[in-house]
Amino acid sequence: MDEELRAWVRSARAIAVLSGAGMSAESGVPTFRDALTGLWARFDPQQLATEAAFRRQPQLVWDWYAERRAAIDNVQANAGHLAIADFQRRHPGRLTVITQNVDGLHQRAGSAGVLALHGNIAQDRWLDAPRACCQADAIAPGRPPHCPVCGNLRRPAVVWFGEMLPEAELAAAQAAAEACDLMLVVGTSGEVYPAAGLAAVAREAGARVLIVNPQASALDRVATHCLRATAASALPLLLGDD
Ligand code: APR
């Protein structure tokens, strides 16, 4: 590990991590865009991850999420997630996790205050505004589950293409990107906004931007340095104390 990069971490008063699907790749969770394993290689994203698609084919979309949920239930946080959580424990308040991932693995590794910009695959919510009949304790089972009275469907509590990101999380992520003096951009292709834009926010606010990704990404042009390494191999070395 390059001593200079470790010095960047040691001297950083505030660190922001912006993670993407590559953060969880070594846990066995397929990324979206890796050619061979990427989920999108087998599905058309517009076919599955949009509200219109869900309204058109609720069972197909529900089943796809159910499959991903089952896969994520059986994986573990990897050494990268654990290195981040461990750093937060040793240096309270110094590192903020901003993630595009919906797998909950940062939280499962013990990270606190995770800003999940794209929601959480383990949670559901009502598709349409719930009426009095839509009671959380009276949901009819099904694919998807639904309100037995009005038929309102349950949907994954994730942000689909074209949907707004949760305001509070996005505002907190923007603030963390502006306030940090080091941003670690880990495992993201940098293709999806507004999340990907946070790297430029950090750089323009004067932070160093260190990309951790075995491949080139759309954010390389914003980086102070690109570390061609994987999350689980690089983060324990970067974030471990001397
Ligand atoms: N360590 C670090 N990076 C890795 C690893 C690894 N072990 N394995 C793969 N990567 C990198 C890939 O090189 C790629 O740049 O992770 C990135 C994964 O990119 P994507 O699959 O596009 O995932 P992500 O950037 O998180 O996608 C953003 O797009 O589909 C939407 O909402 C979805 O949150 C997702 C968003």
| From 81, 91, 106, 118, the catalytic residue | 118
Question: What is the pLDDT at residue 147?
Answer: 98
Question: Does residue 112 contact residue 88 with C-beta atoms inside 8 Å?
Answer: yes
Q: Is ligand 1 within 6 A of the CB of residue 25?
A: yes
Helical H runs in 127-220?
167-179, 198-204
CB atoms within 10 A of CB 177: 24
* Structure tokens, 139: 């949901």
Between the CA of 80 and the centroid of ligand 1 the distance, in Å, is 14
Q: What are the structural domains, with CATH classification, of the chain?
A: 3-29+77-118+165-239 (3.40.50.1220), 34-74+121-158 (3.30.1600.10)
pLDDT tens per residue, range 84-123: 999 999 999 999 999 999 999 999 999 999 999 999 999 9
* Structure tokens, 130: 């719930």
| Per-residue pLDDT tens digits of the chain, which is 242 residues long | 789 999 999 999 999 999 999 999 999 998 877 655 566 667 776 678 899 999 999 998 998 889 889 889 999 999 999 999 999 999 999 999 999 999 999 999 999 999 999 999 999 999 999 999 999 999 999 999 999 999 999 999 999 999 999 999 999 999 999 999 999 999 999 999 999 999 999 999 999 999 999 999 999 999 999 999 999 999 999 999 86
Between the CA of 32 and the centroid of ligand 1 the distance, in Å, is 6
Between the CA of 136 and the centroid of ligand 1 the distance, in Å, is 34
Q: Is ligand 1 within 6 A of the CB of residue 32?
A: yes
Give the ligand 1 atom nearest the CA of 101.
34
Determine whether 106 is an active site residue: no
